[in-house]
Structures are given as C-alpha cells and as structure tokens.
Amino acid sequence: MDRHFRAFVAVARHLHFTRAAEEIHITQPSLSLLIRQLEEQLGVKLITRSTRQVALTDMGKAFLPLAENAVNDLDAAVRHMKDLSDLRAGKVTVAAFPSVAANQLPPILVEFHRRYPNVKVQVVDSIWGTVVDRVRAGIADFGVGSEPPEMENLAFQKIYNDEIMLLAAKDHPLAGKKTLGWKEIDGEEIVLLSTDTGVRQSIDAALAGTGITLRAIMEPALVQTAAALVAAGAGLGVILSSYLRAVRMDGLVAIPLTRPRIPRPVGIITRRNREMTPAAEVMLKMVVGGLKDKIVTPVTA
C-alpha cells in the first residue's frame, strides 16, 4: 500500500494530478489508477475531480493525516535502516573475558568509535562462562574467549593460544626456575581460580588421572584478584600469559608450566545462523585483525 499512500498524499498536497505524478515520478494514468485502487480498498471516495478542480472529500480530509503518518513512518524506517547499513547508528555488544577486555580490546574499540562515533558499543567483561552464555542467548553479537566444551549453536574461530603460568613472589624458593612441571607444585599452597572459570576447568581436565593434587587455599574468579593475593603473600598462583601486562608484577615472577603444558585457545565465539548487523560485522573484522596483530607471547619478567 506504500505506493497508494504516497500517491494520495502527493495529490492532496498539490491538488493537481500532473504535478503530483511528477513529484513521485510516475505517469498521470498510473497515478489515477493508484488513487482508484486505494478508494476501492477503503470503500470510500477520497478525491473529487473535475476538468477545472481537484479536491479532497470529507473522507479524504479525514484520511490524509493517517496517510501522511504512514508515509513519514516508513520514510523514517528506511532512513534508520540506511543509517544502520552505513554505520551512522546502531549498537554492538561484545562479550570478552577480562584479559582480552583489559589488554587487546581497548585500542580496537577506541579506533572503532573514532571511525563510527554514532554506533554505541557495549562491552561485557566477565568470566568465561558469562561470555559464552551472553553469546548463546543472543545478548552479545559475538564473544572473545576460549572454546566452549559444548558448542551446540555456537561456532569458534581460534586466534591464538594463551598460556597458563605459575605466579610466585620473587623470594619464593621456586621463583628462580625457568620452567616448572605441575608435579613440582604438587601439595604447594596455591591460589587457583574458581571452578566455574574456563582456566580452572582446563587445569582440572588436564590434570585428571595424573595423580597430581593441587592444594587450593583460595579460589577467586578473576586473575587480577589471584595476582593480588599472591603479591600479598598468599602463596603461589596461576596467571594467563595475556594478563602479564595488565596486572602489577612488582615483586612477582611468572614461570611457564609444563608437563603437561596447558594452552588456552583464545578466539571468536559466535552464534550459528545468526545474521549480524553491519556494525557488528565491521567490529568483528576489526577485533580479529587486532588480535592477530597482537598475538600474546609469554613474558616471564
């Protein structure tokens, strides 16, 4: 009905069929047909037309504001979708676990905002399980984190490996080691991450059946908290290599853990069969490119 409403509004504006036809770029016979079809659809006469005059009927006058509103609303919707397509409006929600949100994402997000200042960006920086849940529920356009063990409706694109390392005070007896096997910290007091984090789940899965027992004395959810506890004298701790530039390492050392080595693949988590908005697609490409340019390498000092 869009063409019929536009035809009627144009005739009402000009009260002249030739000028109305020129405005909406159709022939006068086509305009007359649209008006006739609209009147038949509504079951009322909207316009009276003689050789010398075109006028609105009372029903035409009553219908005019409704038709104008419909045309204006449709035009506004088209403009809005065009703005979304051209990244002049919209919103992108990115979910990322803290190491990425604190280290790799900020310069990417700032550059995105510089290019597309009218697109709102929301960052969900939380533990791995929350990142996965937000993507799965469609709350986040995509996530940056480790591969979910149960993919279901999700897809994962690996970008780099994050290494699980041991964190120790510089005066700890193990601090001078270049590398350590997990067996060498068997029974040591250690600050481990909570069991609902992806890091802890990776550690537990890798050590299952090895006979190695980790003596967890505290179990925070965030790596930053674990690092702060180690710095305060709680004992040993674990840290991801990507966090080494984000936490205060004064008085601390990070030691690669091997036997077994436990890499944490980090990449993009998306929901299958979900059509992304243009803004989300552009953001995703920028994040992938930015992460590849800043692939994390372990730093031990």
pLDDT (tens digit per residue) in 97-116: 877 887 789 999 999 999 99
Same domain, 80 and 95: no
Q: Rounded to whole angstroms, how far apart are CA atoms 279 and 120?
A: 10
- pLDDT of the residue at 223: 85
User: Is 65 inside any structural domain?
Assistant: yes
Asked if 119 and 236 sit in the same domain, the reply is no
For residues 220 and 172, membership in a common domain is answered with: yes
Helices 278-293 and 105-115 sit at what angle, rounded to 10 degrees? 140
> What does pLDDT average to in each consecutive run of 10 residues of the chain (301 residues)?
90 91 92 92 91 89 92 81 78 88 88 92 87 92 87 90 92 93 92 88 90 92 90 92 80 92 90 88 92 56 38
- What is the reported pLDDT for 192? 94
pLDDT of residue 298: 45
What CATH number is given to the structural domain containing 106? 3.40.190.10
Residue 133 tokens read as 């849940």
Q: Where are the alpha helices (DSSP H) in the chain?
A: 2-14, 17-23, 28-42, 58-85, 98-102, 105-115, 128-136, 198-207, 223-231, 278-293
Which of these, 123, 124, 112, 117, lies nearest to 89 by C-alpha position? 117
Q: Which domain holds residue 135?
A: 91-159+265-293
The whole-number pLDDT of residue 294 equals 55
Q: For residues 76 and 95, state if they share a domain.
A: no
pTM higher than the cut 0.85? no
Please tell me whether residues 282 and 148 are part of one structural domain.
yes
Classify residue 300: in a domain, yes or no: no
Q: What share of the chain is helix, strand, coil (3-state, %, to 5)?
A: 45, 25, 35
Mark whether 256 and 167 lie in a shared domain: yes
**Residue 121, domain member (yes or no):** yes
| Distances in whole angstroms, Cα of residue 140 to Cα of each of 5, 21, 223 | 39, 47, 23
Total domain count for the chain? 3
Rounded CA separation 266/182 (Å): 22
Asked whether residue 258 falls in the same domain as residue 168, the answer is yes
Quick one: pLDDT at residue 300?
41
Tell me: do 154 and 273 sit in the same domain.
yes
Do residue 134 and residue 15 come from a single domain? no
Same domain, 17 and 137: no
Looking at residue 299, what is its pLDDT?
41
The last residue of a domain, from among 65, 85, 105: 85
Q: For residues 127 and 43, give the distance between their C-alpha atoms in angstroms, rounded to a whole number.
A: 61
